[in-house]
């Protein structure tokens, strides 16, 4: 999926089925003159929100057709244009900050939102509220709540909260039923669900015996990154921005794999390709062909989806 912003404030959502190569253009606008275009999606639905007057409008889109599947209105929060939202399968989740961060859920297209419980009632101290995502492990669905003072998982069946012992606030992260990987500059951390502490993956990579070649011993070290998303997870493998491009690291086997390497001998005559995003749930990457004579400046070329080899 991607957004076409040619109409200005409103983004147009394009949905490409990679199995059939069919492309759908959704008629549901993403964003407006009061709200920047943004959405979240999985392989079943996409969700977006925007401000209309004093109401926040939350729209759910069927990704198979591109059509509007469901829509609800809530009074806008005091400090934002709309409340945080997320999806799991066909189920939609909303955290209403002005109601003690009440968690609502509903199945898109079948009914009204139902309250589950308030995050504030769990007694955790998130600091300033940032966002949330959803993850299933240990036999139940969890909400990962993010704040300026840290992250907590909340079991949506019991509302029991557990501190995630990461030394950074995970703003760029990949998450699976194995654990969560978070990146901050040159530091890459991983926390396995149920462990007592996080692992410093950047240290593990530097201690690894992996070598691309004798003249580039640190090619797999964590790089500074510059994409919208510099880390992703697929199963037990972390995909991350490395010194030489993108590498994978299996947190169970400690195996390092090169995935997408920069062209160190760029001739200036071919289309230079660099990665622009790492899918936080699939480990897939979006790369853009930069039509350039020097590999650093030029016109944006076509987009490609890259899936790492097993």
pLDDT 10s digits, 171-221? 889 999 999 999 998 999 999 999 999 999 999 999 999 998 888 999 999
Quick one: pLDDT at residue 299? 63
Q: What is the mean pLDDT of residues 43-51?
A: 93
240 closest CA partner among 295, 310, 309, 181:
181
d(CA 176, CA 159): 20
Please state the φ and ψ torsions of residue 238, each to the nearest 5 degrees.
Answer: -95, 130
Q: Residue 202 — φ and ψ, nearest 5°? A: -60, -35
What are the tokens at 285?
Answer: 């990457």
**CB burial of residue 125 (10 Å; 0-12, 13-18, 19+):** exposed
The Cα–Cα gap between 182 and 187 comes to 8
pLDDT digits (tens, 9 = 90+) for 99-156: 999 999 999 888 889 999 999 999 999 999 999 999 999 999 999 999 999 999 999 9
Separation in Å, CA 156 to CA 124, 131, 135, 175, 243 = 15, 16, 10, 17, 39
Please count the residues of the chain: 310
Q: Which of 129-143, 154-168, 233-247 has the lowest mean pLDDT?
A: 233-247
């Amino acid at each position: 999926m991607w957004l076409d912003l040619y109409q200005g404030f409103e983004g147009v959502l394009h949905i490409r089925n990679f199995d059939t190569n069919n492309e759908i253009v959704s008629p549901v606008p993403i964003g407006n003159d009061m709200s920047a275009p943004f959405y979240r999606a999985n392989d079943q639905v996409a969700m977006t929100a925007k401000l209309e007057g004093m109401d926040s409008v939350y729209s759910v889109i069927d990704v198979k057709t591109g059509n509007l599947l469901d829509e609800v209105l809530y009074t806008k929060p005091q400090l934002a244009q709309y409340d945080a939202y997320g999806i799991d399968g066909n189920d939609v989740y909303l955290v209403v900050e002005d109601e003690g961060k009440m968690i609502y859920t509903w199945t898109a297209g079948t009914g009204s939102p139902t309250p589950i419980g308030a995050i504030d009632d769990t007694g955790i101290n998130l600091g300033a509220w940032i966002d949330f995502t959803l993850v299933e492990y240990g036999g139940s669905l969890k909400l990962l709540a993010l704040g300026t003072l840290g992250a907590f998982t909340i079991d949506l069946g019991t509302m029991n909260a557990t501190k995630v012992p990461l030394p950074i606030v995970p703003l760029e992260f990949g998450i699976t039923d194995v654990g969560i990987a978070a990146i901050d500059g040159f530091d890459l951390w991983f926390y396995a669900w149920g462990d007592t502490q996080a692992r410093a993956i950047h240290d593990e990579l530097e201690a690894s015996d992996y070598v691309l070649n004798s003249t580039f011993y640190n090619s797999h070290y964590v790089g500074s990154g510059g994409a919208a998303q510099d880390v992703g997870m697929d199963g037990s493998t972390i995909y991350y921005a490395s010194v030489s491009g993108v590498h994978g690291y299996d947190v169970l086997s400690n195996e390092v794999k090169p995935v997408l390497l920069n062209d160190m001998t760029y001739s200036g005559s071919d289309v230079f390709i660099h990665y622009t995003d790492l899918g936080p749930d699939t480990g897939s990457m979006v790369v853009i062909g930069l039509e350039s004579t020097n590999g650093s400046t030029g016109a944006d070329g076509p987009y490609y989806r890259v899936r790492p080899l097993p």
